[in-house]
């Protein structure tokens, strides 16, 4: 989709930052770059608006095509650019971020851009523009998670305190004291303790919790 501004055109695309958590590791969904000049390079999923689409609909279409999921938490992050496109055109992006639990998730392996989950701390090189978008998304999620239960969107319906701590430590890139973290989360009044335990990680097991609605 192109908008004419003065003497040059501006190509506007929608980019998706899709975060997934499998109960142990935070991951990012990347695709192979569609531009032949950047063949085999990984990048954030993105596309142009189709006829009669708005930005929200384009973002939803992208994540649905890649993950096969309809009801996933997705928010608009903001507009970025303009950048110089590989074709020489000026390009700008409207970015969205998605949070999802992926333990049993299957990607669309036949998708032409070959989507794959990558460990968040072992990401392949990304373009300067996409690194900037990703960093902004991280800062936004960190800020919102301090006052809202946003990170719970990455968890299954039932989860353990160790799983929750692992997720917070990965997102915030820091280590939390186990006792203090557990005490703070339980004191928030947002968690409901369950009667069953997760016993795969340890013999003693850890109680499951659910988010209070």
Cα–Cα distance for residue pair 104/102, rounded to 1 Å: 5
Q: CATH 1.10.10.10 residue ranges in the chain?
A: 157-211
166 phi, psi to nearest 5 deg: -60, -40
- CB count within 10 Å of CB 201 equals 13
What's the whole-model pTM score? 0.84
Output the CA–CA distances (angstroms, integers) from residue 90 to 37, 58, 110, 126, 207, in the order listed: 17, 20, 31, 19, 53
Residue 39: the pLDDT is 66
Q: CATH 3.90.79.10 residue ranges in the chain?
A: 2-145
Residue 78: the pLDDT is 94
DSSP-assigned letters across all residues of 140-197: HHHHHHTTS-GGGGGS-SSEEHHHHHHHHHHHHTS---HHHHHHHHHHTT-EEEEEEE
Q: What is the pLDDT along the chain (213 residues), one digit of tens a residue?
A: 454 445 457 788 899 999 999 888 899 999 987 665 666 789 999 998 888 999 999 999 999 888 888 888 999 999 998 877 666 678 889 999 999 998 765 665 545 667 899 999 899 999 888 999 999 999 999 999 887 889 999 999 999 999 999 999 999 989 999 999 999 999 988 899 999 988 777 667 889 999 887
DSSP-assigned letters across all residues of 91-149: EEEEEEEEEEE-TT----TTSTT--EEEEGGGPPP--HHHHHHHHHHHHHHHHHHTTS-
The CATH number of the domain covering residues in 2-145: 3.90.79.10
Residue 115: the pLDDT is 87
> Which CATH architecture does the domain made up of 157-211 adopt?
Orthogonal Bundle (1.10)
**Coil, strand, or helix at residue 36?**
helix
């Amino acid at each position: 989709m192109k908008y004419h501004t003065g003497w040059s055109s501006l190509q506007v695309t929608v980019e998706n930052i899709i975060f997934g958590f499998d109960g142990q590791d935070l991951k990012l969904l990347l695709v192979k770059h569609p531009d032949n000049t950047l063949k085999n390079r990984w990048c954030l999923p993105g596309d142009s608006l189709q006829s009669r689409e708005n930005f929200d609909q384009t973002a939803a279409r992208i994540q649905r095509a890649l993950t096969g999921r309809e009801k996933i938490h997705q928010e608009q992050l903001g507009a970025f650019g303009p950048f110089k496109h590989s074709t020489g055109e000026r390009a700008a992006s409207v970015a969205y971020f998605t949070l999802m639990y992926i333990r049993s998730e299957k990607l669309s392996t036949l998708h032409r851009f070959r989507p794959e989950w990558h460990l968040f701390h072992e990401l392949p090189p990304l373009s300067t523009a996409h690194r900037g978008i990703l960093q902004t998304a991280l800062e936004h999620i960190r800020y919102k998670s301090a006052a809202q239960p946003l990170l719970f969107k990455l968890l299954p319906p039932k989860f353990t305190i160790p799983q929750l701590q692992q997720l917070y430590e990965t997102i915030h890139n820091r280590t939390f004291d186990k006792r203090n973290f557990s005490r703070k989360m339980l004191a928030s009044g947002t968690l409901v303790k369950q009667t069953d335990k997760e016993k795969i990680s340890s013999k003693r097991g850890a109680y499951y919790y659910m988010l209070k609605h």
